[in-house]
Amino acid sequence: MAIVGRPNVGKSTLFNRLIRKRKSITDPTPGVTRDPVSETTILGNRKLEVIDTGGLTESREFLDRLITQRSFSAMEQADVLVFVLDVTELTPEDEEFINRLRQFRDRLILAVNKVDNPTRELEAYNFLSLGFDSVFPLSAAHGAGVEELVEEILRRIPQLPVPERISEDGNDQESQINRVTADKESESDGFDISIALLGQPNTGKSTLINRLTGADTSIVSPVAGTTRDVVQGSFEYKQRTFRILDTAGIRRKSRVEEDLEYYSVNRAFKSIEDADVVILMIDVDKGLVEQDKKIAAQIVKKGRGVVLAANKWDTLEDTPNTLRAVTDRIRFLFPVLEFAPILPLSALEGQGIPKLLNTVIQLRTQLEKRIDTGTLNNALARWIERTPPPQNKKHRWKLRYITQVSKHPVQFILFVNKTKGFPESYLGYIRNSIRREFGFTNIPISVELRDRR
């Protein structure tokens, strides 16, 4: 993998972040000549060589010596080229680069650097107009967006296993540290899942935790050495470590204290923030309260996965009609969670627990999914053809293109000719099409509109 771009766009800064060291020298003076620097590192579960093509030139003779022989051969050999631009300025040198890089088009990833704030993020998407089909905004200096870039790099390079030993010179330990956080996100088995277990007092949260983390269950076993004090319990299931985060109302305190904690919605909000998936416990014999709705709205806003656990199912007569009745009632009360699975559960007797955990794993997988821009836009063209946007004399709505800007939470940006007054129902159609076609069936997704004339 090689990092390319004109001087001063932040290549060395990015290089250092990827290899987690201060090797190449970042220099604020443009045009400082450096030879390509290379380093072997581990990204995700792959070992790869990262090359910073460095100072390609003296600025005076820039266009002539744009691509020195050594840098050029580095590019020819690389599986992936990360082409870096600076969001704050696009220069003639950049355009020259774009022309020269055309021959490597299918190996090129566009990274727009110095995206240090949200306004610049929007500006970064303008770079799509240079003819790239996706863009990775990032701040090499602060780390934002680097994880997403790493994932894209990993998607593009051929699958190579990580060797047992990285090198013969005792470098292993260092290489371990070099792992960028994305390895936690990789699709491999064994990722951790953080659960926030929320619900009114007395719905059965402690009973469920005891069952999951207690020694008297067959499918789960306690994990030793839980250190973080925000973790209420952890256990393993299907080779994954599940952590139940410390959530309001779980601790064994006096009932009064516990109630007070529950009503501290802020605390519940905090645990939603920290979680991958929320299990919202509902006592099927009781109603729902305002707080449950606030929590539901927050889960959607934060784009977390959520399962509605209809607990104490053992107190009902278990028939298909019962399930339908309970489901209807919950759907009616939680319209914002229309996508969330509703699962019957008896924390006390243990029925429904494997299904609950399997569902949590599924949601987590959906949260991690990323659809590439090309695929999305092909689909968008089909959806528009099947059902064109409403047209009238005043408005001719046009959809330009769509891109997934993040996963976990899963967010898309849809560029349209005019956002103002864009028909909500059509946006809903697009959102549902994304859900159905790409399998984001049970998690909240957001599709934001942006103007692009």
Which residues carry a binding-site annotation for GTP? 5-12, 52-56, 113-116, 199-206, 246-250, 311-314
**Counting contacts by CB under 6 A, is residue 347 touching ligand GDP?**
yes
Q: Are strands 221-222 and 231-237 parallel, antiparallel or unpaired?
A: antiparallel
Binding residue for ligand GDP (CB under 6 A) from 44, 145, 201, 233?
201
Type of residue numbered 388: P
- Which residues does the annotation place in the binding site? 5-12, 52-56, 113-116, 199-206, 246-250, 311-314
DSSP 313: G
Binding residue for ligand GDP (CB under 6 A) from 1, 2, 4, 11?
11
> How many whole angstroms separate alpha carbon 87 and alpha carbon 99?
19
Q: Which is nearer to ligand GDP, 139 or 271 (CB)?
A: 139
Q: Which two tokens stand for residue 190?
A: 């064994």
Binding residue for ligand GDP (CB under 6 A) from 4, 8, 359, 415?
8
Q: Are strands 136-137 and 193-199 parallel, antiparallel or unpaired?
A: unpaired
Residue 408's closest CA among 363, 368, 365, 444?
368
**Hey, which bits of 386-429 come out as E strands?**
399-406, 410-416
Binding residue for ligand GDP (CB under 6 A) from 172, 183, 314, 368?
314
Piece of 6-14, 60-68, 160-168, 224-232 that binds ligand GDP (CB under 6 A): 6-14
Residue 401's closest CA among 416, 421, 384, 385?
416
251 C-beta neighbours (distance < 10 Å), count = 12
**Counting contacts by CB under 6 A, is residue 346 touching ligand GDP?**
yes
For the chain, the first-to-last Cα distance in angstroms comes to: 35
**Counting contacts by CB under 6 A, is residue 271 touching ligand GDP?**
no
> How many whole angstroms separate alpha carbon 179 and alpha carbon 365?
21
Q: Which is nearer to ligand GDP, 70 or 240 (CB)?
A: 70
Binding characters for ligand GDP, 17-36, by CB under 6 A (x = yes): ---------xxx--------
Q: Which two tokens stand for residue 197?
A: 């277990």
Q: Which is nearer to ligand GDP, 12 or 362 (CB)?
A: 12
Piece of 8-16, 68-76, 167-175, 428-436 that binds ligand GDP (CB under 6 A): 8-16
Binding residue for ligand GDP (CB under 6 A) from 10, 44, 145, 341?
10
**Counting contacts by CB under 6 A, is residue 116 touching ligand GDP?**
yes
**Counting contacts by CB under 6 A, is residue 140 touching ligand GDP?**
yes
Piece of 92-100, 196-204, 265-273, 441-449 that binds ligand GDP (CB under 6 A): 196-204
Binding residue for ligand GDP (CB under 6 A) from 312, 370, 407, 408?
312
Contact, 141 vs 148, CB < 8 A? no
Residue 300: which residues within 8 A CB-CB, separation 6 or more?
336, 337, 444
Binding characters for ligand GDP, 366-405, by CB under 6 A (x = yes): ----------------------------------------
Q: How far is the CB of 129 from ligand GDP (least distance, A)?
A: 22
Q: How far is the CB of 345 from ligand GDP (least distance, A)?
A: 7
Using DSSP's 3-state secondary structure scheme, residue 451 falls into strand
Q: Number of residues interacting with ligand GDP: please give it, by CB under 6 A.
A: 32
**Counting contacts by CB under 6 A, is residue 126 touching ligand GDP?**
no
Binding residue for ligand GDP (CB under 6 A) from 41, 71, 178, 206?
206
Helix 353-367 and helix 205-213, axial crossing angle in degrees, nearest 10:
90
List the beta bridge partners of residue 399. 416
**Counting contacts by CB under 6 A, is residue 71 touching ligand GDP?**
no
Segment (H or E) for 280 = strand 277-283
Q: Which two tokens stand for residue 21?
A: 């060291």
> How many whole angstroms separate alpha carbon 226 and alpha carbon 211?
17
Using CA atoms, how far residue 143 sits from 152, 222, 327, in Å, is 15, 35, 43
Q: How far is the CB of 96 from ligand GDP (least distance, A)?
A: 15
Binding site for ligand GDP (CB under 6 A): 5, 7-13, 26-28, 113-114, 116, 139-141, 199, 201-207, 311-312, 314-315, 346-348
